[in-house]
A and B are shown apart, each in its own frame.
Chain A
Amino acid sequence: MLQQVELAGGKVTRNGADRSNVQVYVNPDANERKYLCETLKLDEHTLASALDPDEQARVEIEPEHIAIIFKRPKNYSSEDEFVFRITSAGLFLFADKLIVVLSEESPLFEGKQFAKVASLQDLVLRLINSSISHFVGHLRVINAVSESLEDQINASMHNKYLLNLFSLEKSLVYYLNAISSNGRLIERLKHAAPKIGFSPENLELIDDLTIENSQCYEQASIYSNILASMMDARVSIVSNNLNWLIKTLTIITIAIMLPTLVVSIFSMNVDFPGRQHPWMFWAILFLAAASVGLVRVIWWWKKW
């Protein structure tokens, strides 16, 4: 699907015109791919990389354009079961236009950072910046979700919440890999600045991106380390909660077992002294109740 976007007068606006200077292809179909590869001369492999979530971020300098593959967080949906995934995006920068290739629809150009865009090169950097902001936003969500899961685990005897935490841990590993990959991309963009045509203002923005991306990486790394190091403790908490349940059930079982033993002894089909005594029924009941009391006293004495 093709979306036409116009960069004019420093503003990015959606445009229905055929020849706008920013074209966004969302999951391009066969005809669109053919157009991109044959007419615009995009490398087929690079185009496939833009749609492949497992590709590494990189920059490729072609005779007629610059191809930039960068990593973005995939929009989270409830079916993802706490796995925050990564997706790739491709930017193909020509002298007069920018082709953006995405695997899923995403409103790319919203927000203050797209209110004043100086050039197509500037737009490229702002898109990478928005990806970093997106990562930071998701990291905050992961942190909030893990805190919420910890509260659930403290009172839980199920593996469900632990498995959710494992999913978060896995997500953070994906994120670390993607953020680090974006970091290398930003470095390469800086080195290739003359070829790409970055202005001094763009270079300043690249420096900012480097700092923000490394902060984002550190944040992801800290969250990942915390989750990984506390995982054993959380497994123990769930195991301990289960032990408490077993202990409670054992108390109930023992408390019922002793009066049952007393009553069953007197229920044997043999004669015993005092069987015909009018108070014998109450005496047996008293012995049964006393056995429950005995269990309670031993429990209290042993401090179980």
Chain B
Amino acid sequence: MFRKSANRRVIVSRPAGLHARPCLAIATTVRRFQSKVTIRCRRDTVDASDVLQLMSLAAGQGTELVLLASGPDAEEAVEALAQLFVNDFGLPDE
């Protein structure tokens, strides 16, 4: 299958940072796509479908993250993740 890659920079805007529930929202979103998605934070790169690895990033408010996807639906996966950051992960509160 034709492989594509995409990347996007996003900023963590939530005051509490990228903690438990946002991490789950990211992992759940990534699992909907076939592409392999990773997130780079500072020098660490983690698998975006693994909550455990995402939580280990400890990305606080204002941290810049790079979303990297490769696979047949890479662009869609990155777009969906970026929307998640824009929509505050669809969480009602912290």
Does A140 have its Cβ within 8 Å of any Cβ on chain B? yes
C-alpha gap A112/B88 in the complex (Å): 13
A258 in contact (CB, < 8 A):
no
Q: Tell me whether B48 is interfacial, beta carbon within 8 Å.
A: no
Write the A73-111 contact mask toward B (1 if CB under 8 angstroms, else 0). Answer: 001111100001000000000000000000001111111
Q: A78-B56, A148-B50, A148-B52 are in contact. Are A141 and B24 (CB under 8 A)?
A: yes
Q: Do A144 and B94 have beta carbons less than 8 Å apart?
A: no
- Give every chain B residue within 8 A of A144 (Cβ-Cβ): 24, 27, 51
Q: Do residues B20 and A107 form an inter-chain contact, with CB atoms below 8 A?
A: no
B84 at the interface (CB under 8 A from A): no
Contact residues in A for B20 (Cβ distance below 8 Å): 75-76, 84, 137-138, 141
Decide: A75 near B93, CB < 8 A? Known: A148-B50, A148-B51. no
Give Cα A77 to B24, complex, Å.
Answer: 14
B55 interface residue (CB < 8 Å to A): yes
Interface pair A111/B52, CB less than 8 Å apart: no
B63 → A minimal CB distance (Å): 12
- Considering only residues 42-89 of chain B, those with a C-beta below 8 Å from chain A are 50-52, 55-58, 88
Contact-residue size bin, chain B (C-beta under 8 Å from the other chain): 20 to 34
Contact (Cβ within 8 A) A76 B93: no
Q: In the bound complex, what is the Cα–Cα distance between A84 and B23 (angstroms)? A: 14
Size range of the chain A interface in the assembly:
20 to 34
Q: How many A-B residue pairs have CB under 8 A?
A: 66
CB within 8 Å for A112 and B92 given contacts A78-B58, A107-B15:
yes
Known: A75-B19, A84-B20. A111 touches B92 (CB 8 A): yes
Asked if A78 contacts B15 (CB within 8 A), the reply is no
A296 interfacial by beta-carbon distance below 8 Å: no
- Return B43 CB to nearest CB of chain A, in Å: 15
Inside 8 A of B16's CB, which chain A residues have their CB? Answer: 75, 106-107
Q: Which residue of B lies closest to A164 (CB)?
A: B52
> CB distance A141 to B15 under 8 Å?
no
> What residues of chain A have their CB less than 8 Å away from a CB belonging to chain B?
75-79, 84, 105-113, 130, 133-134, 137-138, 140-141, 144-145, 148-149, 152
Nearest 9 CB-CB pairings of A with B: A111-B92, A78-B58, A76-B20, A148-B52, A141-B20, A144-B51, A137-B21, A75-B16, A141-B24
24 CB contacts below 8 A, A to B, read A76-B20, A77-B19, A77-B58, A78-B55, A105-B15, A106-B16, A106-B94, A107-B15, A107-B94, A110-B94, A111-B91, A112-B92, A130-B92, A130-B93, A137-B20, A137-B21, A137-B91, A140-B21, A141-B24, A144-B24, A144-B27, A145-B52, A145-B55, A149-B52
Given contacts A110-B92, A145-B51, 10 further A-B contacts (CB under 8 A): A75-B19, A75-B20, A106-B94, A130-B92, A137-B20, A137-B24, A138-B20, A140-B21, A145-B52, A148-B52
